[in-house]
Amino acid sequence: MMAKRFTVLDLIDIDLKEHNSLNLHCIGGRKGLAREIGIPDINRPGLALSGFYESFASERIQLFGRGEVAYLRKMSEEGKVENIKQMFSFPIPCCIFTHNLTPDRNFFGEAERAQCPILQTDLTTTDFHARLMRILLDIFAPERSIHGVLVEVYGLGILILGDSGVGKSETALELIKLGHRLVADDVVEIRCVSGNILIGTGANRIIGHHMEIRGLGIINITHLFGVGAIRDRKQIQLVVELEVWDSQKTYDRLGIEEKYMDILGVSIPKLEIPVKPGRNVPIIIETAAMNERLKKMGYNSAKEFNKNILKWIESDQARSVYFGQEDII
């Protein structure tokens, strides 16, 4: 996996809408906009401004709220600018001021000399911090690409895997016809967000909602079935692997033994579905999605069935023992 290169200019230019928008613009240090942001974390530099630079997280974005700005003004009034000079001796990616606040001339001057970008937003410090952390965690999340199809069935994100030609796209097409939604076909990009959530998207947004059907060619799902038949991204909650039916293999018929697939360190429930003429695979996947939702609600059909069978056996054996005993007079 290649390391990401994400710069301050990328942060300003990132296209975000409504409740995710950062409302950032540069007010100083433009020569440093190519500086790289290396880690998904933020630092409030109050201790550094007071002169304590041990364990100073200089590699993080430095966030200035009302408290830090008030302290900067007090330092400027008292002529204490050495701490500001010392702060800019570190390789800081950028400084961001919330509430549309602006630093004083001393701060601007040191930032320009160090070519450190100064950004400004009209958001509150708390709101901006929450938005920026979500964005950074998403950008720097571990990722990998998998050959498969990602669909949403009854609100559940299902990743369909299998060898080439086994019928992944055809199965997904039938699911879309049944009213479910396509997220990605052929190549699925997966990101691990917050350490335990897998988010799948199409490898290319322009061609992501097209499908290749052998014998038919490339079809546009949006044009054929409408915008209600697609999604841009979806959490992966179940993996279904399609395989050609093997008469020599013993397949699970009860579902008591649960299998999992490890993707980027996250274990996802996995089903292996054999494919052969006469099997309605889309209906099986629909049922699997409903069954998985039941499991998340605390009801496991296979385990409940097994429990009832054991109770029946125990009760039957108890009756046999009872009626098999001779009356003792």
- Check pLDDT > 60 for residue 102: yes
Please identify which of the residues 10, 41, 104, 186 carries the catalytic annotation. 186
Question: Which residue, 139, 173, 190, sits at the end of a domain?
Answer: 139
Residues 223, 164 share a domain: yes
Active site residue 41: no
Q: Are 27 and 120 in contact (CB under 8 A)?
A: yes
Same domain, yes or no, for 122 and 183? no
Residue type, 216: L
Domain region containing 151: 143-304
E-state strands within the chain:
6-7, 25-28, 36-37, 42-43, 61-64, 95-97, 118-120, 143-147, 149-153, 156-162, 181-184, 187-193, 197-202, 210-213, 217-220, 233-235, 238-244, 259-263, 266-275
The answer to whether residue 10 is catalytic is no
Residue 229 lies in a domain: yes
Same domain, 113 and 132: yes
Residue 213: name the closest of 177, 178, 246, 237 by CA: 177
Q: Is residue 309 part of a domain?
A: no
pLDDT interval class at 192 (50, 70, 90): very high
C-alpha Rg value of the chain to the nearest Å: 29
Distance CA 181, CA 3 (A): 32
Q: Phi and psi dihedrals of 26, rounded to 5?
A: -90, 130
CB 149 within 8 A of CB 181: no
Check 60, 168, 181, 191 and give the catalytic one: 168
Residue 116: pLDDT band with limits 50, 70, 90: very high
Question: Both 132 and 87 in a single domain?
Answer: yes
28 & 151 share domain: no
Q: Is residue 323 part of a domain?
A: no
Instruction: Indicate whether 43 and 190 sit together in one domain.
Output: no
Q: How far apart are CA 324 and CA 109, in angstroms?
A: 99
Domain boundary among 122, 139, 156: 139
User: Are 155 and 284 members of one domain?
Assistant: yes
98 DSSP 8-state letter: -
Catalytic residue among 19, 253, 262, 327: 253
* pLDDT, average across residues 216-237: 92
Please, what is the average pLDDT of the chain?
Answer: 87
Question: Is 129 in the same domain as 220?
Answer: no
The whole-number pLDDT of residue 318 equals 54
Number of domains in the chain: 2
